Structure 1
Amino acid sequence: GDVLGPALQTSTRATGSIDILSIVVQMIQMGDEGHNRNRAGTLMLLKEWLPSLITSGLASSDVSDVVSFVSGNDHFFLNLVMPACKLMTRAGNGVAGSTVVTTMARNGTDFGIQVSGCGEQWFTGPAQLADGLYLGSYGPADANPDIGDSAITETAGIGGFAMATAPAIVRFVGGTVPDAIATTRRMYDICVGENPRWALPIMDFRGTPTGIDATTVLRTGSLPQINTGMAGKVAGLGQIGAGLVTPPMECFVAAIDALAAAAPR
């Protein structure tokens, strides 16, 4: 708004660069998984801004409003996690023949993926309904199929892939703590590697599973696990819950078919 944007611009310029990925490193060791739980990340970001906000010359009431707004939304840091993850995965796009998934996104109707070896080409299937916990009296009949760009977090190796580090998230998306740990273990089976910088304490500081391999998804039948918010299917209703969802297998079949067709003969 008229206060938040200018205030954060002033604070960021005064602070200098803020290492978003460094905050991610810390927050996944503090119980956040980077998609549906960003509480520690949001507070660490606010910590970076606070000194320059206080000395910015802004009215104290404006500073108070900014701090209240940011600290009052545990998902605030997700707004920066997503573009950081996109820049990471974008760097891996365009490698000839590569089956690594570089984008996952959904628009409430379709779910689409991109794989490195096919560049900007999309492979789509129907968006799925999430399975999870609903707010208030809402239920499955009120939910829209999965929607949003935030699955870029799982594409980069956090979110649902780092559920083991965020046991409290099961109170938000459903399931049990053993389920969360088992999910992370299962994601290692469909990834080409691990990110040692994003170390999971409960996994003896093993790096998060990173680099979804579309071929391995087909071979194992195991789909990427996404933590997601559930939007109401009536416009303006907003979020009605949170849960777990996977892409449709059709996306991966189509991607591998396209790579096979493009392979030198």
Structure 2
Amino acid sequence: MTAPLRGLLGADPVVATSGVALFADALRDQAVAVTDAGWHPPLPGTEAALARVMADPRREEANATALARMTAAEATLVDVAPASESLGLERGTFLHAGPPLEWERASGPMRGALIGAVLLEGLADSPEEAEQRLAAAEFELEPCHHRGAVGPMAGVVSPSMWMYVLRDEVHDNTSWCSLNEGLGKVLRYGAYGAEVIERLRWMGDVLGPILRQAVRSTGPVDVRAIIAQMLQMGDEGHNRNRAGSLMLLRELLPGMITADASSTDVAEAVRFSGANEHFFLNLGMPACKLATRAAEGIPGSTVVTTMARNGTDFGIRVSGTGDGWFTGPANTPQGLFLGDYGPEDANPDIGDSAITETGGIGGFAMAAAPAIVRFVGGDVPFALAATRRMYEVTVDEHPVYQVPILGFRGTPVGIDVTKVVRTGELPQINTGMAGRVAGTGQVGAGLVTPPEECFVAAVAALADAVPR
């Protein structure tokens, strides 16, 4: 019985610990090397529901199916068209980011963006009139996600705004996103001044038609291939899109310069697109939406298919529970501020752009873009650690989206609500920050996580859905 123990003390001990740090600290005080397993108890009050969901015999196969569909989904830019045409958006209906929201609960940037959209559509003659009509519920408000679309920050879409149209032929799905306005005082950050409305009208009258001609003349653009390549070039696909934007412009430029438009309009469209470092973001978002949309509606699956914020609530949707939203109060990002702005100026988290993290890039791919920390805060070790942590809460690795510095390991993809609840590790999101006062615009960029109650509620609903 003692033979296996012979020589046990002939070498320095190797110790692994989990749980509270007391034991590990005591060993370190004695110069013993210790490896922490990083174990945490499940989120409080979730034990019974979590056990039921994890014991669901459908779960493993359902999640494998969800992952296979997500990673097989295509994303091809096939057209650019007004929302009235591409989405059938009716006059007086406005889409917005995040879960459902009423005017009374809307944050400052959401209100500012809606006011601007009402002015853009000519449905009010002044911001005051627009606000009065919105407060009187004269217009229909609907989440972008309910129509298969996505919108950055406030995500407000009105009928005259032009949209990118992306297709996934593998699963016969389509997704849409508005054109990117650039940074600073823009509608998506809640600004609605005269310069904002003028820019949007130029985008509708000049930029949109030129981009449509470019896409139709050069042929479909493989957006998924651009995402895969930009991760190799230092982008992460949410707040750093420099390489992606240049690659997209390379694809579209031949068609833009030969478009049926004046040389002045073509030159300004090319200048505007080339100067916008987030030009690609509004294609990466619907590409990720197509991936997650392919995984929707799989009974027993615990994979997250939507993460979205409206500036008041953070909401998630899960494959196995269909279209139902699980929400909690949106947290306020922590990060770096522009000019004289500070933490007191920032609004809680807002936007559909967390679809990038849901699809396995953005904050989940920060290790591919360590320079992102100069924009959102943190440091290079944090960026590397953030990606490594996300492997703990996802189903597997993406076979196409890879991280060079991690030995070309695939990005973590397929957020599993049971893993989030079991470990207490929340998805990492990097994001822009909107000013909390309507009309302010962008005040900075930073890091944020969802409220844990979204995942707790999702697990409870999944537990109720397990066959008895």
Task: Classify the TM-score, shorter chain.
Answer: over 0.9
1:192 equivalent in structure 2: 395
Kindly indicate whether residue 433 of structure 2 is the aligned counterpart of residue 259 of structure 1: no
Distance 1:187 1:4 in 2: 38
Distance 1:203 1:28 in 2: 12
2:366 equivalent in structure 1: 163
CA contact (8 A) 2:256 2:270 kept: no
1:124 equivalent in structure 2: 327
Corresponding residue to 2:413 among 197, 204, 210: 210
Deviation at 1:155, TM superposition (A): 0.2
Please show how residues 43-82 of structure 1 align to structure 2 within 5 Å.
43-82=246-285
1:150 equivalent in structure 2: 353
2:90 equivalent in structure 1: none
Specify every segment of 5 or more residues in structure 1 that has no aligned partner in the other structure, as ranges.
none
Corresponding residue to 1:11 among 207, 214, 225: 214
Q: RMSD in angstroms over aligned alpha carbons?
A: 0.8
SS at match of 1:124: strand
Calculate the TM-score normalised by the size of structure 1.
0.98
Calculate the TM-score normalised by the size of structure 2.
0.56
2:385 equivalent in structure 1: 182
Q: Structure 1, residues 36-94: CA drift from partner, whole Å, max 9, x if none?
A: 01111111110001112223343222221111111111111111111111111011011
Distance 1:158 1:52 in 2: 29
- Amino acid of the structure 2 residue aligned with 1:41: G
Corresponding residue to 1:140 among 343, 356, 375: 343
How many residue pairs get aligned? The number is 265
Distance 2:343 2:379 in 1: 20
1:246 equivalent in structure 2: 449
Specify every segment of 5 or more residues in structure 2 that has no aligned partner in the other structure, as ranges.
1-202
SS at match of 1:240: strand
Name the larger-Rg structure: 2
Q: Which shifted more, 123-132 or 68-77? A: 68-77
SS at match of 1:192: strand
SS at match of 2:389: helix
Q: Structure 1, residues 207-243: CA drift from partner, whole Å, max 9, x if none?
A: 0000000000011110000011100001111110000
Deviation at 1:187, TM superposition (A): 0.3
Distance 2:430 2:448 in 1: 7
1:94 equivalent in structure 2: 297
Distance 1:236 1:80 in 2: 26
Q: Structure 1, residues 135-179: CA drift from partner, whole Å, max 9, x if none?
A: 011011111100010000000000000000101110000000010
Kindly indicate whether residue 438 of structure 2 is the aligned counterpart of residue 235 of structure 1: yes
Spell out structure 1 runs of 4+ moving beyond 3 A: none
Distance 2:464 2:271 in 1: 54
2:165 equivalent in structure 1: none
Deviation at 1:205, TM superposition (A): 0.4
- Amino acid of the structure 1 residue aligned with 2:234: G
